[in-house]
Amino acid sequence: MITFPAGRSLRIGTRSSPMALTQAHTVADLLRKEQPNLQVELVDVTTEADRWQGDLSQLGGKGLFVKQIDVMLQRGEVDLAVHCMKDVPGDTPLPEGLVFAAHLPRDDVRDVLLFPEGSTLRTLADLPPGATVATSAVRRKAQVRRMRPDLDVVRVRGAVGSRIDKLDGKKDAGARLDAMILATSGLVRLEMSHRGRQIFTVDEMLPAVGAGVLGLECRHDDEPVIGLLSRLNHQRTMTELTAERVMLHDLRGHCNSPIAGHCVTEPDGRLGLRGMVFSADGTTLVQAHLRDGSTDDPAALGARVAAELLRQGAREIIEAIPH
């Protein structure tokens, strides 16, 4: 076993949003538990995507949140990046020389509905016809439209905390929002889970590929860091994530693709993977669910589900969405 050199400090590159900082601190704490006298340093990175206030797809997609930190990692300016796997693009290979050395145990994958502070509403069904629901993900928009075609789904951007401020009318007065959809895991990380009302089941709203998974990325030749990180790896999460990401890759989803994918280890020990591809308005949808995957070869399951979705016309649906 390669031990981490005494005296070397580990630099974690992180965005300065509250959620990114919480995630970086969580990883720093886990690493210090593995190696009690480890020096960990957080290096703040403000990405172009953090500064951009417009539609992310115009800037090049949400992959930009990870790209800038990846460049610093390649240059050796930081040693470790903590990425939400949901934000790691599936249609492009990992940047040269970088590797995910570990994935933490998956958090809650489900999406959750919030209402403005003080509202007595509890579920999507409580909203009056034509009410406004905010979300930035086409995947969520399409699935809301399936449950409530009468609702007006509008885009919202920014860090989770500032989105909630918008919902509460504390920002952008005028753009009244009646409800908002966010990731449960994000709310939990920000200690705001008390704001969640209806948690959607995965049947109601299939999660994004990689939802709730944090990936720890480093240089592929940085053996001391790889050795340290690999002690934090959660095998089941890694296996399920592999099936989902192979599916995403085979679908060649672009950053704005309305693709959902969720893999679970079934009680019988087999892998089950469900995938969905939606048109932007949610009116067209293809789906596949295979439950006979082997944990020894999650990639094969991902490829089979992707092939089934493509057979049903997924390519045409994906290409029809502007990107």
Ligand X SMILES: NCc1[nH]cc(CCC(=O)O)c1CC(=O)O
Instruction: Please state, in angstroms and as integers, the Cα–Cα distance from residue 41 to each residue in 32, 36, 78, 98, 226, following that order.
Output: 11, 14, 9, 20, 17
In the complex with ligand X, the residue whose CB is nearer, 13 or 212, is 212
Q: Alpha carbon 83 to chain centroid distance?
A: 9
Among 61, 89, 90, 186, interactor with ligand X by CB under 6 A: 186
CB 262 → ligand X: shortest distance, Å? 12
87 is catalytic: yes
Please identify which of the residues 29, 55, 79, 87 carries the catalytic annotation: 87
Among 64, 102, 151, 160, interactor with ligand X by CB under 6 A: 160
Cα 141 from Cα 63, distance rounded (Å): 20
Query: Is there binding between residue 215 and ligand X (CB under 6 A)?
Result: no
CB 69 → ligand X: shortest distance, Å? 14
The C-alpha R_g of the chain, in whole angstroms, comes to 20
Q: Coil, strand or helix: which one is 306?
A: helix
If binding means CB under 6 A, how many residues of this protein chain bind ligand X? 11
Per-position b or e across 2-29, b if 16+ CB within 10 A of its CB: eebeeeeebbbbbbebbbbbbbbeebbe
In the complex with ligand X, the residue whose CB is nearer, 186 or 282, is 186
Q: Which of residues 47-106 bind ligand X (CB under 6 A)?
A: 62, 84, 86-87
Cα 82 from Cα 12, distance rounded (Å): 8
Q: What number of residues does the chain have?
A: 323
Q: How many CB atoms neighbour CB 244 within 10 A?
A: 30
Among 212, 258, 282, 298, interactor with ligand X by CB under 6 A: 212
Among 190, 211, 247, 305, interactor with ligand X by CB under 6 A: 211
CB 143 → ligand X: shortest distance, Å? 13
In the complex with ligand X, the residue whose CB is nearer, 184 or 279, is 184
In the complex with ligand X, the residue whose CB is nearer, 86 or 262, is 86
Three-class SS string for 75-125?
HCCCCEEEEEHHHCCCCCCCCCCEEEEEECCCCCCCEEEECCCCCCCCCHH
Q: Which stretch binds ligand X (CB under 6 A): 9-17, 117-125, 182-190, 276-284?
A: 182-190
Interface with ligand X by CB under 6 A: which residues?
Answer: 62, 84, 86-87, 160, 182-183, 185-186, 211-212
Residues catalogued as catalytic: 87
